[in-house]
Amino acid sequence: MDPQQRPLMSDRVTVNGIVTPLALLADGRLWWSEGNQRCLSVEKDVLSFVTSGPYIKIKSLVETRDGCCSTGAPARLARNDVVFMPSSEESHRLWCQKLSEFVDSLGRPKRLFVFVNPFGGKKSATKIFDEQVKPLLEDAQIEITVQETKHQLHAKEITHLLDITKYDGIVCVSGDGLLVEVVNGLLQREDWETAIKIPLGVVPAGTGNGMAKSLLDSVGDPCEVANAVHAIIRGNKRPLDVATIIQGEIRFFSILMLAWGLVADIDIESEKYRWMGSARLDFYGLCRLLNLRQYIGCVSFVPAPGFEAFGEPTSYPGKPTTSKGSNSDTSEAEHTNKQRPCYLGPEINVENLNWRVINGPFISVWLHNVPWGAEDTMAAPDAKFSDGYLDLIIIKNCPTLPLLSMMSELNTGGHVKSQYVTYLKVKAFSLQPGPRTKDQEKEGIIDADGEVLARGKGTYKCEEKTLMTYDKLQIAVDQGLATLFTPI
């Protein structure tokens, strides 16, 4: 007999009034026969089990399909309970013991700190948590501490002081912004080396949901709440690269993307049409294409192996500086300095690396850490979670019609195949942003992980404070620094 097929426990039990054989196999499958053969994987399907008198209830989350015909119908996860009665009290005790031992061996989280952002996306995160997230975590017998965020950077403030020894992970029920805050909070702690190792989970409840989409799509799962929570409950983990964006003494830690030019303009300036819902991005994207902007500037980078032919050789672009008289929030910079010792970025000797440069003007410059920027935007189809590189997507001269066609292919990643797109991987990166080509009195917006990192003069809400100035900045990647709960 295959050792994986060897039963750890077997019995004749009663299921739905029918006596049937039931076995827990060495490979973690629960097998029984109730009319037709049935099977559950403890690792994949079973959330937990509870007892009630002589009965044992297996709480599970299994794939099901809507409709009478399953062909072509999308699978979804649904809660399902299986109740059985062992043949004796001793058998009941042994079943509980074996099931407990197997579930405990999986290393699943037992205590989670959960952030809920009631303001993000369609402002439905609280309802999503109450109706979909909380019931599944309770079924899995996970103890949770819930914190609703009250304002921007609230999650960062809490994470910075959180006693992480009490938890097996931090979960964000939100879009990508909350997860970014948590990472920044962890890396600005004195114990950052320990803190950043705590696994992070994300449940899609925001506008973009790029990280959740990237994680779930990597195994072919839909970007649904149940699938995201299921991944967290199972407790599998994977490393995640973290990019450090530096300007002078100011640092911002990015896990998703950085954009300058067309993508940043659409993302940020379309906020004035937020009343349109998600359609605002399509509407304003068309507006920007019909009145296309190009920006003067240059990008310098250290190419990954195999991408050395892109750009022209150049010297190290130098340390980024902060411009005087800018709209940078100096109190934030002072706060960052006071947090030492904290994480200051990857230990890379960037000066001795082989830098290359591409000069503008540019329509769009886009850096990505994971494949999906939003549920419908596969920005960087070749991006990996922990390869130690960022994917750089550059659009320079491009006629309107090809650009329109290109933008329509964002949901499949087909845009990177266009002759007008330069697509490569980089280890380090420097951006020197400049003004618009047709109106040099106006500059642009630098967008990092969905938030405005810097606003140039003449931009949308340019009077608002930002973390950095519209000036040179530098980025380096630390491979696998953070940890994510993942479906695999």
* Angle between helical axes of 279-290 and 400-408 (0-180°, round to 10): 160
Q: Which of 11, 45, 168, 176 is catalytic?
A: 176
Q: Would you state the structure tokens that stand for residue 71, as one six-digit string?
A: 């062909």
Q: Alpha-carbon distance 19 to 239, whole Å? A: 46
In 3-state terms the chain splits into helix, strand, coil percentages (rounded to 5) of 25, 35, 40
Q: Which long-range contacts (CB under 8 A, 24 or more apart) does 214-218 make?
A: 214/370, 214/371, 214/372, 214/383, 214/385, 215/484, 215/486, 215/487, 216/487, 217/371, 217/372, 218/371, 218/385, 218/486, 218/487, 218/488
Which helix (H) or strand (E) covers residue 88, if one does?
Answer: none
Tell which residue, 415, 439, 454, 445, has the closest CA to residue 265. 445
Q: Is 139 a catalytic residue?
A: no
CA distances in angstroms from 192 to 165, 208, 253, listed in the order given: 13, 28, 13
Consecutive H or E run containing 288: helix 279-290
| C-alpha R_g of the chain | 25
Q: Is the dihedral of CA 231, 234, 236, 237 positive or negative?
A: positive
In the sheet that holds 18-25, the strands lie side by side as 36-41, 29-34, 18-25, 7-15, 75-85, 55-65, 46-52
Q: Greatest CA span in the chain, whole angstroms?
A: 83
Q: Where are the alpha helices (DSSP H) in 142-261?
A: 154-161, 176-187, 192-195, 210-217, 225-234
Sorted by sequence, the CB contacts under 8 Å of residue 410 that are 6+ apart come out as: 376, 377, 378, 379
CB 115 within 8 A of CB 172: yes
The type of residue at 357 is: V
Residue 227, C-beta contacts closer than 8 angstroms, at least 6 positions apart:
77, 216, 221, 487
Tell me which residues are annotated as active site.
176
